[in-house]
Structure 1
Amino acid sequence: MASTSITIRIDENLKKQAEMVFEDMGMNMTTAFTVFAKAVVRQGKIPFEITANVPNPETIAAMLEADKMLKDPDTKRYNSFTEILNEAEADYVSD
């Protein structure tokens, strides 16, 4: 069977991490994607469940807290990150 090439764009770190996993399994990237493509054809679908990124309860709580702080007129506001650092440094020096 004749082979053909495909080109995909992928985050560099993700590529390196995937290559390490594939290497542990005795495969290279080409073999891994061939296995994936064959599974797609055989099953007629993506061979795993794809779901939305749903935040965990801790993240949801943090998001709600941030929203509450944004709506609170008494929450201290800063105009820049430098302003935050200067205040943190002043607090540190005074302790």
Structure 2
Amino acid sequence: MKTTPTTIRLDDDLKKELTKELSSMGLSINGYFNLAARQLVIQKKVPFEVLAESNEPTEATKKALVVAQAKELGSIPDDSPSFDNMNELKNYLDKESTTTP
């Protein structure tokens, strides 16, 4: 079978993630694109569901936003620590890491 070289351009970070995921499955990028292309020809459609990234915040983000808003409105007390400099923050984090199980 004769092959034709083809060039595709990928974002560097995407290529790294793609290579890592495909390696764990025993595939190369070339193998993956050949597989996807063959399936497209066989199925006459894109062989996977195409999803868009969601602009919806995660549940954890939603909760954090509600808590922040409640603190801002005075509905719940704002007991968040504040720091005047980086050393105070580091000391606080060090203290927290030694007291948290």
| Length-normalised TM-score, structure 2 | 0.52
Equivalent position of 1:29 in the other structure:
29
> What's the C-alpha RMSD, in Å, of the aligned pairs?
3.6
Q: Which structure 2 segments of 5+ residues have no match? A: none
Alpha-carbon distance, 1:57 to partner: 2.5
CA contact (8 A) 1:78 1:84 kept: yes
Identity among equivalent positions (%) equals 15
Alpha-carbon distance, 1:32 to partner: 0.9
Equivalent position of 1:49 in the other structure:
50
Name which of 10, 15, 19 aligns with 2:19. 15
- In structure 1, the residue corresponding to 2:88 is in which secondary structure? helix
Q: Which structure 1 segments of 5+ residues have no match? A: none
CA contact (8 A) 1:40 1:46 kept: yes
Equivalent position of 2:67 in the other structure:
65
| Length-normalised TM-score, structure 1 | 0.54
CA contact (8 A) 1:39 1:47 kept: no
Work out the number of aligned pairs and report it: 87
